[in-house]
Amino acid sequence: MLERLWSGWRSSYVSSVGPPASSPDGPSVFSQILASGLPDEETHIVHRGATCFAILNAFPYATAHTLVLPYREVGDLEALDETEFHELWSTGRDAVIAIKSAYRPEGLNVGLNLGRPAGGSVSHHLHVHVVPRWTGDSNFMTATANTRTIPEALQDTAARLRAAWPAGPAAP
């Protein structure tokens, strides 16, 4: 029998995303954050490069769950130009380095969900998830109380990652 775990805590995030970029109704949540003019400390952006940036997931699966994405709103990996493609992955590598340095996780998940059927909740603005993992991080709280335990405030996580981010521009 197929078992299901309810993740109702994500519904506010998914419903706040809005329509695809091709819609006249507006840009992605990431483009809205970039256009807001708010400081990185408030938006939890941890790194800015020439064509890509890294931001904390507002509804993380684990502490330091980071998203790496291009400034340009595209939904398909093959739609990136060469510069964006290389910077996306070098920034992803730098996110791994920063997370390992700041948090010492036992492992990491790094990946993309391309398209809504693949799990992309903001499928029109592709983003790489970098999620630190520890043995037991999927514990009884999620299964029995429909609750994730995130032991650190996002602003504290962002500050730790900024401090641990590799120096200099992301390598091509």
Is residue 112 in a domain?
yes
Higher pLDDT, 21 or 160: 160
Nearest of 145, 113, 146 to residue 131 by alpha carbon: 113
pLDDT of residue 167: 86
32-36, 61-65, 117-121: segment of lowest average pLDDT: 117-121
Q: 118-138 in b/e burial notation, b at 16+ Cβ within 10 A?
A: eebebbbbbbbbbbbeeeebe
Is residue 40 in a domain?
no
Higher pLDDT, 113 or 83: 83
Is residue 114 in a domain?
yes
Is residue 37 in a domain?
no
Q: Check which CATH number belongs to the domain holding 60 and give it.
A: 3.30.428.10
Which whole number is the average pLDDT over 20-43? 80
- Residue 74 · residue 80 · CB < 8 Å: yes
- Residue 124 · residue 75 · CB < 8 Å: yes
**Number of domains observed in the structure of the chain:** 1
Residues identified as active-site = 127
Statement: residue 102 has pLDDT above 90: yes
pLDDT of residue 20: 45
Statement: residue 154 has pLDDT above 70: yes
Which whole number is the average pLDDT over 113-134? 84
Rounded CA-CA distance 113/115 in Å is: 6
Statement: residue 99 has pLDDT above 90: yes
Is residue 10 in a domain?
no
Is residue 13 in a domain?
no
Is residue 73 in a domain?
yes
Segment 128-148, tens digit of pLDDT = 999 999 887 664 444 444 555
> Other C-beta atoms within 10 Å of 168: how many?
7
pLDDT of residue 114: 81
Domain ranges, residue 93 = 48-164
pLDDT of residue 148: 58
